[in-house]
Structure 1
Amino acid sequence: MNCRNYIFYFLLITGLCTYAQCDYSNLALTGRGDLELFGTKVKLHPDAYKAFLKMEEAALKDGISIKILSGYRSFSTQKNIWNRKYKKYTAEGMSPEKVLDKIIEFSTLPGTSRHHWGTEIDIIDNSVKTPTNYLVEKNFIKGGCYEKLKKWMDENSEKFGFYLVYTKNGYRKGFKYEPWHYSYKPISYSCFKKILKLDSLYMLNSLDIKGRDYLTTEFLSKYFNEQVLDINPKLK
């Protein structure tokens, strides 16, 4: 064992290092491989699942019932989301180029979703009356139905390893602000580092999805640099 590995091992066993090494295969990293997942309707990486249960229990003591609307998503699931939105916006008369820009306001190209890792959660407060549209910003701001949830998460989520991914920051590019999307950093941090080593442009160019012919090299390069990379600095 070299010095660097010894130091990491020491930090790990003493509890001073909280970030596990990402042992995902490239297929698993992009939603196309088998992962060990826990949960029934919503599935997560085992460590993320255990951490969520602890956070859920703590929130309940404060009168908040955290419900996960979306956890792990496979490549196939993300592809279906992409194709469905492409058909919808095309039917509304938008040009293919504008359709692509519209989709990536909130949705990823399949293979690049953080939800592929089983570390991401989209959440609401199940203890309040459910609105027609769950995941919209107005629900999480002052006066919104999930205001109490958001305040609690701001004060407590990082204690359990969960960090907001797409923050409200005028300097951040890429995906729009998502006050409902949190990432379990002890696992996602190393997954993020590992995906940076993939040949992203080759992977994206090989996608078989709606609008494929309009995924130019320029578009894909911008997508990777802004949508994939421009996230909460605490997560990279």
Structure 2
Amino acid sequence: MDVTKPTPIMCITGQSDTHLTDIQNHRLHSAIISDFLALQSAAQKAGFELTIASSFRDFNRQSIIWNNKFLGIRPVYNKQQKVVDLTKLNDVDKCIAIMIYSALPGASRHHLGTDLDVFDKAAVSDDYKLQLTPDEYLQGGPFAPLSNWLDTNLDKFGFYRPYQHDLGGVAPELWHISHIKQSQLLVNKLSEQVLYECIKNSELQGKQAILDNLPAIYTRFVTNVSPP
């Protein structure tokens, strides 16, 4: 494949960054910049310093996160925020445990450039260690006011939360927002077969378990998101 001419498939699987624009030390899809800035400006007027914590992440970076978790180098948490003992799990169950909070490389919405994690920088001190955990965004947490504001304002600027609710796959992530129109245009190009080929040609830990169980994984963790 001629890497100088990235295909749409390369963009949605994290193997190209030609669709991105630099913004505030991050990278977002070029088509969503104006909508994001409008959202950020409205948040500022409401008293929030809406700040990007994480945006585009390519396949290689997502693979490092995945492999480190699979190998026990980085902790894996369940929905109760308890560390999972992966040594007691087979490869399939290890993968499922990881996907509660970390996307399968090739299927991460962070590959798209349309999805980002946000927080209210004004609500915490400069030395605050951001965790991106539910407690920070629920009642009593430092980002609960921003989260409540996003509940009623995201759609006005073309955004929504794909992991708003627990649907039995990825755990709720109130910090994760997505541009509705642009993300759907890209997600619609992804398929189980595209993902299969992407993973088959990778060096992911647990690769065979993933490929053998991809139909169930794809249904539970890739397409199973909250609607706009």
Q: What is the TM-score with the length of structure 2 in the denominator?
A: 0.83
The answer to whether residue 30 in structure 2 is matched with residue 46 in structure 1 is yes
8 A contact 2:137–2:144 mirrored in 1 = yes
For 2:180, the equivalent position in structure 1 comes to 185
Letter in 2 for 1:157: L
Residues 170-181 of structure 1 aligned to structure 2 (within 5 Å): 172-181=167-176
- The equivalences for 1:139-158 within 5 A come to 139-158=136-155
Partner residue of 1:230 out of 209, 224, 227:
224
Q: Quick one: structure 1 residues 191 and 36, their matched pair in 2 at CA, closer, same or farther if it must change by over 3 Å?
A: closer
- In the other structure, the counterpart of 1:72 is 56
Q: Which moved more, 1:100-109 or 1:174-183?
A: 100-109
Higher alpha-carbon Rg: 1
Structure 1 position 142, deviation (Å): 1.1
Cα distance between partner residues in 2 of 1:90 and 1:120: 23
Q: Distance in 2 between matches of 1:180 and 1:212?
A: 29
RMSD, matched Cα? 2.2
- Measured in 2, the distance between the counterparts of 1:189 and 1:72 equals 16
1:27 aligns with 2:10: yes
Unpaired runs of 5+ residues, structure 1, are: 1-22
Match in the other structure for 1:82: 66
Contact 1:89 1:99 in 2 (8 A): no
Gaps of at least 5 residues in structure 2 are 1-5, 76-84
Match of 1:118 among 104, 113, 116: 113
Q: Could you tell me how far apart the structure 2 residues matched to 1:182 and 1:59 are?
A: 14
Distance 2:222 2:106 in 1: 11
Q: Distance in 2 between matches of 1:215 and 1:109?
A: 9
**What residue identity is the alignment partner of 2:19?**
E
Give every structure 1 segment of 4 or more consecutive aligned residues whose post-TM-superposition deviation is greater than 6 Å. none
Residues 206 and 36 of structure 1, relative CA distance in 2, 3 Å threshold: closer
Count of aligned positions: 209
Report percent identity of matched pairs: 28
User: What residue in structure 2 maps to residue 12 of structure 1?
Assistant: none
1:36 CA drift (Å): 3.2
Q: 1:185 & 1:74 partners in 2: Cα distance?
A: 20
- 2:40 pairs with one of 51, 56, 66: 56
Identify the residue that residue 14 of structure 1 maps to in structure 2.
none
Deviation digits for residues 209-231 of structure 1 (CA, Å, limit 9, x no counterpart):
122243252x2211101111110
